[in-house]
């Protein structure tokens, strides 16, 4: 079945970086954009950006530009999200999500990973 | 950036009730709107896309309507499984914004 499986929980010190992985299976990885969305404890959803697994092109939300890097390895159908210069307010669950349309079109987010908790103690 | 405003923030209702959640966009987004359901400790689940199209497998008691800046999610007859938090999301022109969420509670 179509699924996204993410790496495990992380605890990082302020100022450090974290890299979260997202393994895709059950569909043609290169056909659909992968987005990253985060959710702070008890808060709403925040879109961070997307990557095209086919071309490697990226589009980051302005808030995260300069701190986030999204990459992919097509040989192992895995996407990565690297967030640097971590602060306590980066503590959140990070989700990778598949776009519902075949690229280059875009649509709603139809498949979600299970989420990765990243904790940055203050 | 396009801002999305949901109302109400919290809604108390009973099994069998008909409920409506509203979502307003700060500028026109056509029908590029989705609704998601999230239960505690779980990832969100897509319910409706393009404002009114039901995702495969979603019960028909869920429906969506609207275009431009005003949108509505309706649950025709609440079931116990429907008590959750609901988010709207706009995805116009490769920009993405979520509403702040509506928590649907048991009265």
Residues B22-41: pLDDT tens digits? 999 999 999 999 999 999 99
Q: Which residue among A61, A108, A114 sits closest to B43, beta carbon to beta carbon?
A: A114
Q: Which residue among A59, A106, A114 sits closest to B91, beta carbon to beta carbon?
A: A106
Model confidence pLDDT, tens digit, residues A52-99: 999 999 999 999 999 999 999 999 999 999 999 999 999 999 999 999
Residue B73: the pLDDT is 98
Residue A102: the pLDDT is 85
Percentage of chain B surpassing pLDDT 70? 100
Nearest to A48 by CA among A95, A6, A116, A12: A95
A44 vs B98: CB contact, 8 Å cut-off? yes
- When the pLDDT of each residue in chain A is averaged and rounded to a whole number, the result is 96
Q: Which residues pair with A122 in a beta bridge?
A: none
Which chain A residue is nearest to residue B9, measuring alpha carbons?
Answer: A44
Find the Cα–Cα–Cα–Cα dihedral A52, A57, A62, A67, rounded to 10°: 100
B43 vs A45: CB contact, 8 Å cut-off? no
Q: Are A23 and A76 in contact (CB under 8 A)?
A: yes
Query: Does residue B2 sit at the A interface (CB-CB below 8 Å)?
Result: no
SS (H, E, C) chain A: CCEEEECCCEECCCCCCEEEEEEEECCCHHHCCEEEEEECCCCCCEEEEEECCCCCCEEECHHHCCCEEEEEEHHHCEEEEEECCCCHHHCEEEEEEEECCCCCCCCCEEEECCCEEEECCC
Question: φ and ψ at A64, to 5 degrees?
Answer: -105, -5
Q: Which residue among A35, A95, A108 sits closest to B46, beta carbon to beta carbon?
A: A108
B96 vs A35: CB contact, 8 Å cut-off? yes
Tokens of B35: 């609704």
B46 vs A115: CB contact, 8 Å cut-off? no
Q: What share of chain A is helix, strand, coil (3-state, %, to 5)?
A: 10, 45, 45
What's the gap in Å between the CA of B74 and the closest CA on chain A?
19
Cβ-Cβ contacts under 8 Å for A14 (sequence gap 6 or more): A86, A87, A88, A120, A121, A122
Residue A103: the pLDDT is 85
Q: Which of residues 40-99 of A touch B (CB under 8 A)?
A: 44-47, 50, 59, 61-62, 95
Interface test with B, best of A32, A45, A94, A104 (most B CBs within 10 A): A45
Above 80 in pLDDT, residue B93? no
Q: Average pLDDT of B77-86?
A: 96
Q: Which residue has the higher pLDDT, A64 or B95?
A: A64
């Amino acid at each position: 079945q179509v699924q996204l499986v993410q790496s495990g929980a992380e605890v990082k010190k302020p100022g450090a970086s974290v890299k979260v992985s997202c393994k895709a299976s059950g569909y043609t990885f290169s056909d659909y954009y992968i987005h990253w969305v985060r959710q702070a404890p008890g808060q709403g959803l925040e879109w961070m950006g997307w990557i095209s697994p086919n071309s490697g092109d990226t589009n980051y939300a302005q808030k995260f530009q300069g701190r986030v890097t999204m990459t992919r390895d097509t040989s192992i159908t895995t996407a990565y999200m690297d967030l640097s210069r971590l602060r306590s307010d980066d503590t959140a669950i990070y989700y990778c999500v598949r776009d519902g349309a075949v690229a280059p079109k875009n649509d709603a987010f139809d498949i979600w990973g299970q989420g990765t908790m990243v904790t940055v103690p203050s | 950036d396009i801002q999305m405003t949901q109302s109400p923030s919290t809604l108390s209702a009973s099994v069998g009730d008909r409920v409506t959640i509203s979502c307003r966009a700060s500028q026109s987004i056509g029908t590029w709107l989705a609704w998601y359901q999230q239960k505690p400790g779980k990832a969100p689940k897509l319910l409706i896309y393009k404002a009114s199209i039901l995702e495969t497998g979603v019960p028909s008691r869920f429906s969506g309507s609207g275009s431009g800046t005003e949108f509505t999610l309706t649950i025709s007859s609440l079931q116990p499984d429907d008590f959750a938090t609901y988010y709207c999301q706009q995805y116009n022109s490769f920009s993405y914004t979520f509403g702040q969420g509506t928590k649907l509670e048991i009265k």
